[in-house]
Amino acid sequence: MKSTTYSEKVLDHFRNPRNVGTLEGEDVSMGRVGNPVCGDLMEIYIRVKDNIITDIKFKTFGCGSAIATASMITELAKGKSIEEAEKITRGDVADELDGLPPIKMHCSNLAADALKAAIKNYREKGHQSEKEKRTLQKIIGIERFQDAGVYTKINDPQQLKDKRIIILDKGEESVSRACLLRELSPRVVFITPNKESLFNEEFKQKLHKARVKILYETEILELLGRKKIEKIKVHDLNEDEVYELFADAIIL
């Protein structure tokens, strides 16, 4: 029989849940996820100012573990930057609650997924973090090639079939794009400034499974070409070397 013993922290967050409710406003994004197996449903609302989650609320229809994990993840995410909050995993939630019974681990997964869904919706509204803005501002040629190889949205993926595609690391959304485009082209390169040891393990596994080439510790310096992108100039942060790669498209 699987253990269903709860820690004192789980019981505390179940009996006295933090940050229950909803948020409204233009600066609010909501993520909703559900588990069809157990019937749990969770919504997480985030208010973001200057790239920081200044307020966060949740609503859930589920068991005590679902309530506890939602309560805990709001505590973990509040006050953090979007990038920091995006890295919170179900393991982090379970650890902060001093563990969950194995049969209830899906609840921590639900809470982490709801937070990521809220962040994804925030990004889809067109928000960029200051870090992302600085990164893009450093890349020479973005404005010049805006309609000639530079993409922020992909309305028709088929137009990139068999193209040499460069994807800039912007988290889960860019990983999903890379995996999708790998089905259309064998020449997809994912570029991240992170070291392999610091890169999100889940993302890494998805990219490897899709056979996407990953360049760690790399940043894009410049886009090169005549009327459209032909090459990109990149900086190897580890070796401190600059070199060029052939490319037809860059996904920001």
Would residue 179 show up in a list of annotated catalytic residues for this protein?
no
The residue behind tokens 């040499």 is: 164
Inter-residue contact 228 to 148 (CB < 8 Å): yes
What separation in angstroms does the CA of 198 have from each of 51, 93, 120?
A: 21, 19, 21
For residue 167, the cross-strand partners are 190, 251
- Give, as one character, the DSSP assignment of residue 212: -
The residue behind tokens 């709801």 is: 114
Q: Which of 10, 28, 107, 191 is catalytic?
A: 107
Inter-residue contact 12 to 102 (CB < 8 Å): no
What are the helix and strand counts (H, E) for the chain? 8, 11
> Residue 126: in which H helix or E strand, if any?
none
> Torsions phi, psi of 204, nearest 5?
-60, -45
Q: Which of 17, 34, 35, 38 is catalytic?
A: 38
- The catalytic site residues sit at 38, 107
